[in-house]
Amino acid sequence: MSIYREYDIRGIYEKELNKESVTKIGYALSSKISGEYVAVGYDARSHSPILFEYLVSGLNAGGKKVLNMGLVPTPVNYFTNYQDWNGITPSASVMITGSHNPSEYNGFKITIDKAPFFGEDIYALGRECEAMQSVSEVERQVTEIDAKSRYIDFMVEQFAHLKGMKERIVYDCGNGVAGIVLPEIFEKLELNTTGLYVDPDGTFPNHHPDPSVEKNLNDVKELLAKEGDIAFAYDGDADRIAVLTHKNNIKGDMMALLYSMKMDKPTVVGEVKCSQVMYDELERRGGKTVMYKTGHSNLKVKMKEVNADLACEVSGHVFFKNRYFGYDDAIYATFRMLELVQDGIDLDAELARLPQVFSTEEIKVETTEAQKFQIMDKVKELLQNPPASFPKIKNIIDVDGVRINFENGWGLVRASNTTPVLVTRFESTSKEDAALYESAVNQLIQTAKDSL
């Protein structure tokens, strides 16, 4: 059951994701899909095409026909749900991807009726698969579709006004699937670009494809310093982006502030890790903000619920409903950022105008799958009557873990839904207070751990 996660299905190839388990997943999933067709694509890992065949076998056995888009980024997979393919609109899509996980991992991101399939639905699917007998093979029913070309044409049309921009753009695909579409879009828009690690290679020979980890940006930073004006980097399946200038590594919450400059009083959904500066500044500009749970599936659902224009995660998931479809797409986010540059917006100057705060990166506290939620329950209990030395609490937001608002900042503790860790983050208007909040909350976590 450990492969069935909050946002997706994820496990180690052969050990956990094998012919038996994946065929069962396809068969069980088919009963959740009302229509006849499911679109399936996969990332650059060597075992992704093998898992594709296993999944197809299960979906076909469950009465579904498959539209095969082949090797594509995750956003292209989402994109197919909004397209007509010779009179067929798929009722669901599945992306076979291990995202930014090590190369032995793989998994499935599932969309049904244009909405994420996640949370209890995934856990229930897992229980169904665990109880299932073997699945009989039936005749293979697969139709090839050229989703990649359709997506590239769409992007070139949407951003035709960027054609011939003079700024020097450098980018790092990290040997992930961004390289399948991005260079061709750049070329058709006649942009001045230099790419690193563009060819997909599921062994990720140059660096791990996770742009939220600073060391993975070293090569593109070096290239930016030598011959670029702006830089972009992508994770393994191209649904997360890093944006770099000569002065800043712009996190997702600050990207949202920049993107929203060209929107009229937008509604923006942020996660609990987003800077208070983002929420305050958007409200000051006349926008509306909603703080919600971390996780791409959670944010997509909340966006639809509140009819938001934009959503973001600090890690670089950016979701546009404004002029787009409302899912996270790092390729699309690239061109929306280039629009700002073309319009004469100085990204660094805009960030420099914001109130200065001192923020930590995400800090991960190692624990176990069994204990992480128990520790969180104990932390919540301790916060009801904190030690006398604990900084003064203004209020607590418990939409996802606890975000403790102090007099000069905030601290966050939440259990990761994907790994056996607690995630913490701290921010304050003073460096000393940020350190104080971090120390006090860490002591509280340790007390909670010791009590188990």
**Catalytic residue IDs:** 10, 99, 317
| Main-chain dihedrals φ then ψ at residue 70, nearest 5 degrees | 70, -145
Compute CA distances 148 → 74, 151, 182, whole Å. Answer: 11, 5, 11
CA 313-434-208 angle, to 5 degrees, is 40
E-strand stretches of 217-339? 230-234, 241-244, 249-250, 267-271, 288-292, 310-312, 318-320
Which amino acid is located at 201 in the chain? D
B/e letters for 366-392, b = 16+ CB within 10 Å, e = fewer, are ebeeebbebbbebbeebbeeeeeebbe
Which residue type is seen at 274? C
CA distance 154 to 146: 13
Strand segments (E) across 247-392: 249-250, 267-271, 288-292, 310-312, 318-320, 358-359, 363-366
Please state the φ and ψ torsions of residue 225, each to the nearest 5 degrees: -60, -35
CB 75 within 8 A of CB 238: yes
Q: What distance in Å separates the CA atoms of residue 50 and residue 42, rounded to the nearest whole number? A: 10
Helix 19-30 with 120-131: angle, nearest 10 deg: 120
